[in-house]
Amino acid sequence: MADLFPPLVTAQIDDKPKVDEKVDYSNLPCPVPYEELHREAYMSLKPDTFEGLRFDFTKGLNQKFGLCHSVMMGPTEVPSQSPDTVIKIPTAHYEFGANYIDPKLMLVGRVMTDGRQSARVRADLTDKLMVKANAQLANEPHMSQAMFNFDYMGSDYRAQLQFGNNALVGANYIQSVTPRLSLGGEVFWVGVPRKSGIGYAARYETDKMVASGQVASTGLMAMNYVQKVSDKVSLATDFMYNYFSREAVASVGYDYMLRQSRVRGKIDSNGVASALLEERLSMGLNFLMSAELDHKKKDYKFGFGLTVG
């Protein structure tokens, strides 16, 4: 195996005289996990805008254990028959949660006043093997879901196996091909609507930009690009195309991380402009404001909130 590597390295140097250091193909970095491929793009382009009031209070009782209380009041959308009208019903609920966070074990549980419960477990069994479990229980029958993931981290690759309810089985694999480029693929099989799918993904990153793309046999093709213009500003753009239903959406957004605040804004080709502003009023006190204007459907949503702790 080692005999194959030296010819590859010298060929690289002959083709690109600008490369000033030898690429050591036997010592590549570990790639990001498959589900976090688009992490930078989605951090900028998908801020969680909300409608109404949101109040979160987190209290740490210990170094590892904490409780959190959260109140959310506002209209929630109900799917309606025609795509033009939106039906909103005012709701309010309170959520209580407990977190236990350890370097090797993380347990998170949440309970809401409308009867929904959710739990997340993340445990490092060995240095390289990690188990994640995620469950959500709801009052209505057949609405509960659970998912288990087993992750194995190799020296320059990651492999993951997934099992979920409704007989969902999936696997994905991602490998670093050069220090900047990583390629991966996934397959899954769902039992209830019997279908299976396969997908491929690629991610290229330097310290100034990240570009990633994903294609899946469910008809989804997504590409995104994030450029870090300075250490406070980053701009991102995203293109999603469904080749079965022939719909395409493109969006452009920015993310300004200033000392006392963080502003994220995005405009879409569906005519949606949204922004989220998080401002640090004092130590541990954050004030959130969110706005979303949908010019096509004439649906305007505004929200404000406070996060303590």
Give the footprint of another protein on this chain (CB under 8 A).
Answer: 254, 256, 258-261, 263, 265, 267, 271, 273-275, 277, 279, 289, 291, 293, 295
The nearest distance, CB 67 to another protein, in angstroms, is: 32
- The least CB distance from residue 282 to another protein, in Å, is 14
- How far are the Cα atoms of 76, 81, 252, 294 from residue 298, in angstroms, in the given order? 16, 17, 20, 5
Q: Which lies closer to another protein via its Cβ, residue 18 or residue 259? A: 259
Nearest CB to another protein, comparing residues 35 and 279? 279
* Dist CA 40 CA 212 (whole Å): 10
Nearer to another protein, 169 or 252 (CB): 252
Shortest distance, position 292 Cβ to another protein, whole Å: 8
Beta bridge partners of 22: none
Q: Which of 37-43's residues contact partners 24+ apart within 8 Å by CB, and which partners?
A: 37/174, 37/184, 37/201, 37/203, 37/212, 37/214, 38/212, 38/214, 38/222, 38/224, 40/210, 40/226, 40/234, 40/236, 41/210, 41/212, 41/224, 41/225, 41/226, 41/236, 41/238, 43/255
With respect to another protein, which residue has the nearer C-beta, 173 or 256?
256
Grouping H, G, I as helix, E, B as strand and the rest as coil, residue 246 is coil
- Shortest Cβ distance from residue 295 to another protein (Å)? 5
Which residue, 80 or 269, has its beta carbon nearer to another protein?
269
d(CA 180, CA 168): 32
Alpha-carbon distance 252 to 7, whole Å? 42
User: Taking the complex as a whole, how short is the minimal distance between the CB of residue 254 and another protein, in angstroms?
Assistant: 8
Q: Report the residue number, 98 or 277, with the smaller CB distance to another protein.
A: 277
Q: Which is nearer to another protein, 162 or 274 (CB)?
A: 274
Q: Which CA distances in Å does 112 have to 95, 135, 138?
A: 4, 14, 10
Reduced to 3 DSSP states, what percent helix, strand and coil does the chain have, rounded to the nearest 5? 10, 60, 30
Least distance between another protein and beta carbon 258 (Å): 4
CB of 262 to another protein, least distance (A): 9
